[in-house]
Amino acid sequence: MDIQLKNKLLKNDRDYVWHPFTQMKDYEKQDHVLIEKAEGIYLYDADGSKYYDTVSSWWVNIHGHSHPRIRAAIDKQMSEMDHVMFSGFTHRPAIELSEKLVEITPEGLNKVFFSDNGSTAVEVALKMSFQYWLHLGKKEKNKFVFLDNSYHGDTIGAVSVGGVELFHSVFKPLLFDSYKVSSPNPFAWQQKGVSEDEAVSKCLDEVRSLFEEKAEEIAGFVIEPLVQAAGGMIVYPSSYLIGIRELCDEFDIHLIADEVAVGFGRTGKLFACEHAGISPDLMCLSKGLTAGVMPLSVTLSTLKIFDAFYDEYETFKTFFHGHSFTGNPLACAVALENLKIFEDNKVIEMIQPTSKYLQQRFPEFSDLKHIGNVRGIGMIAAMDIFEDKAKGLNYATNKRTGYQVYLTGLKHGLIMRPLGDTIYVWLPLCTTIDDIDQILYKINNVLIDLELA
Ligand code: PMP
């Protein structure tokens, strides 16, 4: 790109744009990366420099950027119908996608409700769960349970069930009351001398006690299956999820699985719930639903929940929720094509050797002086930076070590986005073993540059 155009764009970015999760005063001090092209697992900036997209562009991309089949699906749908309202009308892409989603998601999820981002899919699940109990005459069942360090989005309902202090505490006066329970975070428990199995039973005991006391007022338990992503890439055992399913059944509480981040193969199975062999009552999907290309989300529900809303014309039993872009045909067509690519290319089979390789190689970082708590699953791998590894001490926050990793990563051709001092990769499913070698080599060089090796 012409240097003058680039400078003008960067100036206008500073003048007009307010970026998410960004302290803008701080942002203004940097010359930011102007991304101009995305192809496969790479992003290219305005100067033509190439970067590995190791975070799948905020955990969304699945088959690589600019996939020819996805492009063709958009073109085809665009030539037929761009958008139409979804209340009182319906259309083929949404119908076919719903049928397919019911087929591939865990048993018992039979109805598909559309929206357009992950937070809203969670918001919808919370509202559905609450209204379900209302229809059954249990209006006091209006609270939700969530895990410490959980993240379910940024809308007010989703923040009310969020457990990341940094993002959520400022909004406390706006939130509804919910119950927070301990996370089965293996590392945090290990620091207290508690083994993984013991941690799971302690955490389940805590939930049981809460349910015994409060089940009458609890509508649902909302959880990120297996990986608490934004809360620090915490990977916890599937036995916890199995235990939560059992407790929800025993105490008549909805299990709401937020697979917005982990859905569509990222953990090595199509859906993370499959690792535990469980079916939730409500399931939220977004990000990878359209292969990471278009904004779309769904909340799937059981027939039991749906049936409580199903009646002759009675307004109070209607689910009053919907958005202008609900069920957007372009996004639905892309999602359908995404699912066809999964099938045609046997993507879940294809990623088994690559994810195994990633999980074998990533722990090599734990040999480094300042690196520990290496963990991962499927195409996700994470590690923490410590000032004193033996004592489990992190660097002072004002050192902004994770941010230095981000900046140094750019110099090495990596797009990374550490969460505090947690460095992670969240790889597109099309990543090859050779790509993994390259990425790990570059990350190692970043750590050497920052004297963290
Ligand atoms: N749930 C989870 C588990 C997420 O990771 C995210 C986004 N990172 C969301 C919900 C919210 O999705 P969105 O950003 O599309 O609103």
- Shared domain check, 321 and 427: no
* Residue whose CA lies nearest to ligand 1 atom number 2: 152
Residues with CB under 6 A from ligand 1: 117-119, 122, 151-153, 224, 229-230, 258, 260-261, 286
Ligand 1 centroid–CA 56 distance in Å is 14
Ligand 1 centroid–CA 295 distance in Å is 12
- Looking at residue 314, its pLDDT comes to 66
- Looking at residue 26, its pLDDT comes to 87
Kindly state whether residue 74 falls inside one of the protein's structural domains. yes
pLDDT < 50 regions, the chain: none
The annotation places the binding site for substrate at 58, 151, 287, 322, 417
Domain assignment of residue 214, given as a range: 69-344
- Shared domain check, 186 and 307: yes
Q: DSSP alpha helices (H): ranges in 136-272?
A: 156-160, 165-168, 186-191, 196-214, 238-251
Task: Give the global pTM.
Answer: 0.98
- Shared domain check, 439 and 292: no
Kindly state whether residue 317 falls inside one of the protein's structural domains. yes
How far apart CA 15 and CA 11 sit, in angstroms, is 6
CA dihedral 170, 176, 182, 185 (to 10 degrees): -60
Task: Check: CB of residue 119 under 8 Å from CB of residue 323.
Answer: no
Ligand 1 centroid–CA 211 distance in Å is 27
| Residues whose CB is less than 8 angstroms from the CB of residue 450 and which lie 6 or more positions away in sequence, other chains included | 401, 404, 405, 408
Residue 104, CB half-sphere, CA atoms under 13 Å: how many? Answer: 22
* Residue whose CA lies nearest to ligand 1 atom number 1: 152
Domain tally for the chain? Answer: 2
- Shared domain check, 298 and 267: yes
- Shared domain check, 256 and 111: yes
Task: Check: CB of residue 161 under 8 Å from CB of residue 144.
Answer: yes
How far apart CA 403 and CA 213 sit, in angstroms, is 43
Ligand 1 centroid–CA 154 distance in Å is 8
How far apart CA 149 and CA 140 sit, in angstroms, is 26
How far apart CA 157 and CA 144 sit, in angstroms, is 10
- Looking at residue 202, its pLDDT comes to 98
Q: Which of 151, 166, 227 to mutate to test the pocket of ligand 1 (most atoms within 8 A of CB)?
A: 151
Q: Residues 31-75: pLDDT tens digits?
A: 789 999 999 999 999 999 999 999 999 999 999 999 999 999 999
Ligand 1 centroid–CA 266 distance in Å is 14
Considering 344, 362, 394, which residue would you say is the last residue of a domain? 344
The annotation places the binding site for pyridoxal 5'-phosphate at 118-119, 258, 323-324
